[in-house]
């Protein structure tokens, strides 16, 4: 072979090599593009899995299928009579003046009726105005969006102006995303239903508004450890038990969250059911203990302080009994703080209990604070307790403060000690005998109706 021939062969080989390298670069760019689309779809899917907005989930899915198939349009169409509040028809388009109308989607009735996917490879263009604008779709792939038990909720479509634009992979992709969409619809519908039920139940467990009592200021604060749950294991209540007599209870169920809240309802409503002027505080705690022992709610226990109070002239008389609850504190005249020791055993653990009773009198300007251990057992970042010392400091720092001001000051001091967030349920009630005697026919300067906050 001559040198010329050898040189020609070498040039051909170099040319083929360049072509192969160029083809490899093109293939590599295509793989990079596919990888980018898959990565984008993965991010879409992860973000969509956290959404609670059905309409946004639909937009996520139609945008995802549009990107992965390279189609001109992706459309969601809801079915009628599903019993679920589904989003309206929604489309994502690329390269179109506008999306297709509902009548443009082929075999829609067939998909919704039969619940089977369809594929159209070469739909006739016709001579409509839409076809002249290039909006007519020659290729379609559609899949039913089904609930878990097979009910058709709607359909997911992709369309392209090219004939035979979709193959088996695109059909499987649309089916997979339609299945995902159906699962998300059903999950979110169930979530909403349960949230509505839970909300209705929570309303029955939330602390009630406190009544106005002539001759007495009353305030309360309530904060569950799990704010999203809205209710927890601590509770309080105040209600009339007879002419001029009132009963109040502050309690704490073991644990936090919904399970504790369930027993909270039993304890609070159980106390209301049996409370009366004829039943002494010790009698009520004994009956409440009997109820909890009979229920045996997974070894859940309860502490509670229950008292009868009666405004008489310028003083307020209090008779109380204690079921293993933290002792209350009284702020006396002269800014003296004292702890009221009322021994007792927690409720729900033993059948027969003996409850002592303690009587005290609140003179004008004096107040009593009843609380749960979420107050005194609050810890800072170094593990130091707020303790009864912290409670005494707050009580002694504001002589003459109203019941509402005292309750709010205690709550803020506890939250500040914990760095802004309660780690345990907190409930407290403040009862104060106003300094000024109220005029006849009025509720007094300090009368106040308090809610949960």
What's the pLDDT at 321? 96
- Assign 242 a pLDDT band (cuts: 50, 70, 90): confident
Q: What is the pTM for the complete model shown?
A: 0.60
- What is the structure's pLDDT at 235? 87
pLDDT at residue 165 tops 60:
yes
**pLDDT, average across residues 133-146:** 79
Mean pLDDT across the chain: 80
Sorted by sequence, the CB contacts under 8 Å of residue 121 that are 6+ apart come out as 139, 163, 164, 166
pLDDT digits (tens, 9 = 90+) for 417-438: 988 766 778 899 999 999 864 4
* DSSP label at residue 214: T
Residue 439 has pLDDT above 60, yes or no: no
Distance CA 217, CA 406 (A): 11
Question: Mean pLDDT, to the nearest integer, of 192-200?
Answer: 69
For 314-324, how does the pLDDT look when each residue is reduced to its tens digit (9 = 90+)? 999 999 999 99
Question: Which of 220, 154, 170 is closest to 69 using CA atoms?
Answer: 170
**Residue 409: pLDDT band by 50, 70, 90 thresholds?**
very high
pLDDT of residue 452: 36
What pLDDT score does 394 carry? 94
Q: What per-residue confidence (pLDDT) applies to 417? A: 92
pLDDT given at position 119? 86
Q: Do 332 and 340 form a contact (C-beta atoms < 8 A)?
A: no
Give the confidence band of 3 by pLDDT, cuts at 50, 70, 90. low
Task: Label residue 37 exposed, middle or buried (CB < 10 Å: 0-12, 13-18, 19+).
Answer: middle
Could you report the per-residue pLDDT of 198-239, keeping only the tens digit for each?
Answer: 666 666 666 778 899 888 999 999 887 765 455 667 889 999
Domain ranges of the chain: 51-198, 208-432
pLDDT of residue 117: 87
Alpha carbon 416 to chain centroid, angstroms: 24
Return the CATH number of the domain spanning residue range 208-432. Answer: 3.60.40.10
So what's the pLDDT on residue 132?
43
pLDDT at 360 over 90: yes
- In this predicted model, what pLDDT tens digit does every residue of 67-77 receive, in sequence order? 888 888 898 88
H/E element holding 77?
strand 73-78
- Domain 51-198, what architecture? 2-Layer Sandwich (3.30)
Helical H segments across 320-386, by residue range: 373-376
Residue 277 has pLDDT above 90, yes or no: no
Query: Phi and psi (nearest 5°) for 135?
Result: -90, -5
Contact 220, 207 (CB under 8 A): yes
More confident of the two residues 300 and 173 = 173
For 378, the token pair is: 């609050």
* pLDDT tens digits for range 20-51: 777 777 777 766 666 666 666 666 666 666 66
- pLDDT > 90: percent of the chain: 27
pLDDT at position 443 is 40
Task: Convert the pLDDT of each residue in 369-399 to its tens digit.
Answer: 999 999 999 998 888 999 999 999 999 887 7
* Mean pLDDT, range 255-279, rounded to an integer: 76
Among 83-92, 253-262, 441-450, where is mean pLDDT lowest?
A: 441-450
Reference 70, options 131, 183, 10, 158; nearest CA is 158
């Amino acid at each position: 072979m001559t040198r010329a021939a050898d040189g020609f062969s070498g040039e051909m080989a170099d040319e083929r090599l360049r072509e192969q390298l160029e083809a490899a670069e093109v293939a590599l760019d295509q793989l990079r593009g596919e990888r980018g689309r898959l990565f984008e779809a993965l991010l879409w899917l992860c973000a969509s899995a956290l959404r609670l907005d059905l309409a946004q989930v639909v937009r996520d899915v139609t945008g995802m299928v549009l990107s992965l198939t390279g189609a001109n349009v992706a459309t969601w169409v809801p079915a009628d009579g599903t019993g679920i509040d589904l989003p309206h028809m929604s489309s994502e388009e690329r390269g179109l003046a506008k999306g297709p109308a509902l009548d443009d989607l082929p075999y829609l009735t067939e998909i919704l009726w039969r619940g089977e996917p369809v594929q159209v490879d070469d739909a006739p263009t016709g001579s409509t105005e839409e076809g002249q604008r290039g909006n007519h779709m020659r290729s379609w792939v559609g899949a039913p969006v089904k609930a878990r038990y097979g009910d058709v909720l709607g359909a997911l479509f992709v369309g392209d102006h090219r004939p035979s634009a979709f193959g088996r992979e695109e059909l499987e992709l649309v089916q997979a995303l339609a299945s995902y969409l159906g699962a998300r619809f059903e999950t979110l519908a169930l979530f909403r239903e349960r949230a509505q039920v839970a909300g209705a139940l929570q309303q029955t467990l939330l602390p009630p508004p406190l009544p106005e009592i002539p001759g007495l200021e009353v305030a309360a604060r309530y904060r569950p450890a799990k704010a999203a749950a809205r209710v927890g294991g601590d509770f309080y209540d105040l209600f009339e038990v007879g002419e001029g007599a009132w009963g109040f209870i502050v309690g704490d169920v073991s644990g936090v969250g919904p399970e504790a809240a369930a027993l909270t309802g039993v304890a609070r409503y159980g106390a209301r059911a049996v409370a009366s002027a004829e039943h002494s505080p010790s009698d009520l705690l004994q009956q409440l203990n009997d109820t909890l022992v009979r229920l045996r709610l997974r070894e859940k226990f309860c502490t509670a302080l229950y008292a009868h109070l009666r405004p008489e002239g310028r003083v307020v008389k209090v008779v109380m009994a204690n079921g293993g609850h933290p002792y209350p504190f009284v702020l006396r005249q002269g800014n003296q703080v004292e702890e009221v020791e009322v021994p007792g055993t927690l409720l729900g653990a033993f059948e027969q209990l003996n409850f002592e009773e303690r009587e005290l009198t609140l003179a004008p300007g004096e107040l009593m604070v009843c609380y749960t251990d979420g107050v005194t057992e609050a810890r800072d970042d170094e593990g130091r307790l707020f303790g009864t010392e912290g409670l005494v400091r707050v009580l002694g720092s504001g002589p003459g403060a109203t019941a509402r001001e005292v309750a709010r000051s205690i709550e803020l001091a506890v939250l500040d000690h914990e760095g802004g967030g309660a780690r345990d349920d907190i409930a407290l009630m403040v009862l104060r005998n106003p300094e000024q005697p109220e005029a006849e026919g009025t509720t007094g300067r300090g009368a106040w109706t308090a809610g949960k906050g």
